[in-house]
Structures are given as C-alpha cells and as structure tokens.
Structure 1
Amino acid sequence: MDKINTKHFAFLLLATGIVSLKTYPGVFMRDAGRDSWIAVTVASVLIFAFYIFIISTCKKTEVYNMREIYEKAVGKRLGDIFIALFIVNLFATLIECVSAEANSMHTNMLLETPTWYLMIFFVFPIIYTIRKEIVSIITVTVIGIILIMMAGINLGILTARYKDWSLLFPIFKDGLKFNFFVALAKILGLYGSVSITLPYLIRVRNRKSIIKHVIIALLIIIQMEIVSTTGVITTFGTVLANTMPYPKLIQTQQVSYFRFLEFGELYVMLQILGGWMLKYLISFYAMLSLLKGFGLKRKHLIWITYIVSLAAYISSYFIADNLFRLFTFFNIYSYLFLFNFIIIPLIMFTIFALKQSSSTQN
C-alpha cells in the first residue's frame, strides 16, 4: 500500500510544522522581543497563503508530482539541481531533529546522560520504521500527533494560572525595527518545514477534499504556534525567556498542584520526543522518495538509509555537544529553510502555474 488519503496528509503537515518553533523560540525571540507573537502571527498568515497556493496549483493543474512540477518549470537539469538542494535540506532537517531532541533532554532533564547516548536510542531504532511501507509511517504519525495534541491541551490548562498577559504589551514600544523583519524571516524559515510534505502529494488518493483538510491542519498549526509563543512571553517575559535555550521545558517545571503533583515535564517530554521523532521519520522517508526519482533501486535505498542514519548521528553529535554551536546551527538552518523550503518552491510552483495557464489559453 503506497497511497494515503487527505486526512493522513493533514497529519503529516501537523507532524512537520509544529515542533521547531515550539522547541527553540529563542532563535527569533532574541530579535523580535516582546513583539515575537506579532511576528509569529504575520508569518502564520504568510505561510498559510504560501501552502494554499501550492495545493491550489496542484489541484488546478492536476499535477501532484513535485519532481514533474520542478522539471516543467525550469527544465530537467535545473529541476534536478533544485530537487537535490531540497534533499540536502532534508538531511539538514535530520540533523536538526537529532540534535534538538538530544540536547534539549540533556540540558534540561538528563544532565548526567551524554548527548551521544541519547542519540543512539533516537537514530537507530527509527531505521526499522523507515524501512517499512508508507502505511507504517502514517500509523505512527497519526497515533503520535493525537497523543502530542492531548499533551498540549493538558499543558495549556496546567500552565494557565502562571501567565501574565500584560507582558504582551505595549506593542512596538520602540517602533518597527529591522530586527522584527529578521525574526519574521526566521519564523517563516522554521514554518517552512511544512514543505517537507510536498514529496508526499503524489501518494495522496481521492484528492477532492485536500484543500479542506490542509486548511484545517494549517489552522491547528498556526493556533498552536501563536499560543506557544504568547505562553512563553506571558510566563517569563522576553528578557528572562531569552536566557533559556528551551523555555517550554522550564515553563512546565512550574506546574505544581497540592504541593506534590508535579508532572508538567511528562507532557513536554512526550511532545519533544514524539514531535522530533515524527519529523525525523517523515523527512527521512521524503528524502528516500525523492532519491528514488534519480533511478535508485530498493537495494540502494536500503544502504542509503544506513549511511544517512550514521551521517546524521555523527553530524548531530558534533553540533549538539555544544549549546552555542547548536544555536548557531539553528540560526543558519532557519535561513536555509527559508531559501530551500519557501522561496525556491514558491518560484517553481509560480513558474509552473504560469506555464500551465499559458498553454491552456493557447
């Protein structure tokens, strides 16, 4: 079974679009400060328009093959180059997933456990699922997202009394500065993770309701990111929050009821471990799907799975072992995502849409 329906696709969107912005908001909050929630809101509108344009173009032209769209837009050779850049970005995503998961757990919860040890139990067990068919990927994703959303709702309820909403104001106290647009670019880049789902479009069957389910998924992602960002600001204020690498993990440590119920970390561990695992899994499978388009056979892809897993492990170890190096990578990574996951796909799909429109008129 290599086909999925539009509801499954919506879960893929949720699994790729949520975790980055929630785990390390300091990447953009250091630039936008108190106005970070406004930057997230503006970026949310832009990413919504971007992805709906992508899906609408596919639906209108009835072409859902990402490789075909790229090749028809700029030719086979240039199209293959841009697909290769997309694959490179997917590998960078694997490094992000492994590094963020291991370092966040080591920094906030398992201080005595080294990152290399945490990575072993993240990278290599996932190979088993990656080697299965798409049905396994979807099953794990659906179950994981349901549990993550339940944990998020519980966390929202448990942390509500610790928030001071006055910390969101005043808006633009020092005016609209360049740093706000820097933050906006970074947020868009991290939001660009939703483009990881583009290679899955060709596998979707019964596409009649695809726009409807994509809209629902995007709205869920957007509200989660806005609530998450405002939650961090209203709990700590931006000055204190910017001193924390992973403020969501610290936020949950405040939860205490009846002086002995302290279980906020349990929910956030589920969110982080589950969220990064799902994003890693979906990114890896998307990479293998695109590599298959270069003529690689199954036996080659099996060896590539092991080689890429080992390369992701080694690369992540050197990056995640140092917190400052890791956040330098996150900053670079956000711009890389903006370029390869937002700007290039937008250009490719726009050119493709214009060419198709022109050929239809002729």
Structure 2
Amino acid sequence: MYKINSKHLIFFIFSVTAISARTYASIFIGVNGRDTWISALVATFLLLGFIFLIMFISLKTKTLTLEKVFYNTYPKLLGNIFLFLFCVGLFLTSLEAATVESSAIHTTIFIETPIWYCLAFFIIPAAYVASKNFRTITIVVIVTITIIFVSNLFLMALLYQYKNFQYLLPILFNGLSKENIFATLMLLGSFSSIAIIFPFLRYVRDKENLIKNSLLGTFIICILVTFVFVLLIGTFGPLRASNIYYPEFYQAQRLDIEDFLEFGDFFFLLRTVCNLFLKYVLSLTGIITLLRNKIKRKKVFITIYTIIIAVLSYFIGSSQFVMFNLLRPLQFILLVVFFVIPLITYVIYFFKYKRMKM
C-alpha cells in the first residue's frame, strides 16, 4: 500500500476545503453582507476544533479507517447507513464540482461554448486520473496545488490596490443577528468538505505529525478564504458582490498593469478548473476507497459514475437559477453529512473505546 507523508495531507486539504466558498462567494455575501468575512473567520475556528478532535480521536484509538469507526460505533445496519450517507456526501461534492466548473466557464469566459462541451473536458480527464493508483493521484494533487497556490498569492497581491475598506464598515452594525449565524453555518458546511480527506487518513505514514499538519493546512486555507471575502467586499461592496454569480471572475478582470497587461481571466480559469478538478477526483477516489470491497470492477464503476454525473450536471448547470438555488441547501446537507455525523460518531467511538480499555 502506498503511503503518504502527513505534509502531503496539507495539499489534499487545500484541494477540497475552500474552492466552493470562493467560486460562488455571492451566496454567502448575500446572507450576511459586509460581515461575511467575520462568519468565515468564526467558521474557520469551528473547523479547526473539529479537525483537532477528529485527528486526536483517530490517533488515540489508533483508528485511521473511517469505515471501522462507523462499524465499531453503531450496529451493523446503522453503520452501513451512515457510511452510505458519507458516500452520498462525496457524490454530491463531485456533482457540485462538475456542475459549478462547467457553469462558471460557460457563464464567464466561453459563453458560446455549450455546457456539455465544458463537462466533457472536465469529467473525462478526471475519470482518467481517478482510475490511476493513489500515488499518481497524490502527485497530480501536489503539483497542481503548488501552481494554484503560488498564482493565488500573486493575484491577491496585484488586486489589493483595488480594495476600499470603507465597504467593510460598520462592522457588526446589527450586532449578532440570525444572518450572522446562518452565514456561519453555511460557510461551515462549505468548509466541511475537508471531510473528503478522511478516507485517505489510512495512507498517512508519520502519524505523530498528523494533528499539527492537518491544523496547519486547515488554518492557512480558511484564513486565505477569509481574506478573499475581505477583498471581494472591499472591491465591489456587499450589495454588488452579492448580486454577481462568480464575483472573483469580475474582480480578476479589473487587473490592469500600466495599460499593458490584463490577464486576470487566466488566474480565474486556472484556479477554478484545476481546483474543482481535484475536488472531483478526490471525491470519486474517496468513494472507491470506502467501497473498495464492494466495487469489483473499478473502471466500470468509474464509467457509470461519470455518466450519471454528466447527465445530472448538464441539467442542473443549464440554468443558473436552478443551480444557485440548489447550492444554498447543499451547504446544510454537507454540514450534516460531513460535520455533524462524523463529529457525533467519533465522540461516541472515543468513549466506547475508553470504556473497553478500562
């Protein structure tokens, strides 16, 4: 079995945690306005606590296999149900990745290119990568995330000049409102896609650094997204930013260097396609990993899975209104499947493990 270093896990966290919140940031800004970055900050610390607890329990119980946690915590039937729900969550994140990518590219850059064409150039290469071994997938993740991360820092530095901090004021004008809580839960649901990495914990070699590197990766990427919200609101203002489907695309279009270079579209295209590509691949690979004893023919499963995703993504992504109306409840579904259920399960498992050791 191929093993990875816990530092590699940082790249996996970067791949799945924050790209959704960045790509369709307007649905979060539409809820909490100028204070959305505060909701992102609160969601960040809640997620850090969640990750610490999951990793701590995994190490204390010497259980890095997600299926084993479900089966040892609940009766067999209930364990299978919760494992199935987790796989449904992985399916939904891969569906989200394919739909949002094709819709974003069709809506912003290649307007005359049909949705199905964008989908074909996304899910076919993704299916090919997912069919390879885990070592190949790890290499693809590390190389791609390195390029994306460097380009992100470069773009954010160039766009900083366009911000206006007056758009962020007054902070918490209405105090702690239901909008604050609602937006925080939505962002926590989006960030909880970090649970996509749970099936891969079994491959980690240096377990002694697992907590440190997991928290480091989570903190960096979530703080980066918080700063992205600050830049978006500071660039457009809360009202305008909430009424744009993909605000980072239009923010990148403002990039202009001495009336000579205008290449912000390239950064948006690079980040959106590549990062959602990785999220799709890791979601699919996660399902294959969890159901490896039930999937007899991997390539046949990937083919059927790809066809189902293609059909659903085409119909959902063909209408922006339908897609964005589905993205809002999706955050709460992910909150339950990737955050609430694993949190409760791991806590119960920890106490059962301690009782057995007494």
TM-score (norm 2): 0.98
| Matching of residue 178 in structure 1 with residue 175 in structure 2 | no
> How far, CA to CA, are the matches of 1:288 and 1:167 in structure 2?
46
> How far, CA to CA, are the matches of 2:224 and 2:17 in structure 1?
10
Shift of 1:178: 1.2
- Corresponding residue for 1:332? 329
SS at match of 1:113: coil
Q: Select which of 308, 312, 315 maps to 1:311.
A: 308
Percent identity among equivalent residues? Answer: 31
Give the root-mean-square deviation of aligned CA atoms. 1.0
> How far, CA to CA, are the matches of 2:85 and 2:116 in structure 1?
28
> How far, CA to CA, are the matches of 2:165 and 2:249 in structure 1?
20
> How far, CA to CA, are the matches of 2:104 and 2:269 in structure 1?
10
Q: Select which of 320, 323, 326 maps to 2:320.
A: 323
> How far, CA to CA, are the matches of 2:69 and 2:174 in structure 1?
44
- Corresponding residue for 1:157? 157
Deviation per CA, 1:158-195, whole angstroms, max 9, x where unpaired? 10110011211111212322122111111010001000
Deviating above 3 A after TM superposition, structure 1's stretches of 4 or more consecutive aligned residues are none
- Corresponding residue for 2:197? 197
Q: Which runs of 5+ in 2 are unaligned?
A: none
- Corresponding residue for 1:129? 129
- Corresponding residue for 1:346? 343
| Matching of residue 57 in structure 1 with residue 57 in structure 2 | yes
Paired letter, 1:321: S
> How far, CA to CA, are the matches of 1:274 and 1:106 in structure 2?
16
> How far, CA to CA, are the matches of 1:213 and 1:207 in structure 2?
10
Deviation per CA, 1:234-275, whole angstroms, max 9, x where unpaired? 000110111101100000000111112101111121111111
Shift of 1:85: 0.6
Paired letter, 2:295: L
- Corresponding residue for 2:251? 251
Shift of 1:218: 1.0
SS at match of 2:291: helix
Paired letter, 1:350: V
- Corresponding residue for 1:67? 67
- Corresponding residue for 1:279? 279
Greater shift, 203-212 or 131-140, is seen at 203-212
> How far, CA to CA, are the matches of 2:129 and 2:288 in structure 1?
13
| Matching of residue 114 in structure 1 with residue 114 in structure 2 | yes
Greater shift, 260-269 or 341-350, is seen at 260-269
- Corresponding residue for 1:138? 138
> How far, CA to CA, are the matches of 1:38 and 1:230 in structure 2?
9
> How far, CA to CA, are the matches of 1:176 and 1:217 in structure 2?
29
Greater shift, 82-91 or 2-11, is seen at 2-11
- Corresponding residue for 2:26? 26
> How far, CA to CA, are the matches of 1:214 and 1:200 in structure 2?
13
Aligned partners of 1:151 and 1:268 also within 8 Å: no
- Once the two structures are superposed, the pairs formed by residues 4-23 of structure 1 within 5 Å of their partners are 4-23=4-23
Q: Which runs of 5+ in 1 are unaligned?
A: none
Aligned partners of 1:93 and 1:283 also within 8 Å: yes
SS at match of 1:292: coil
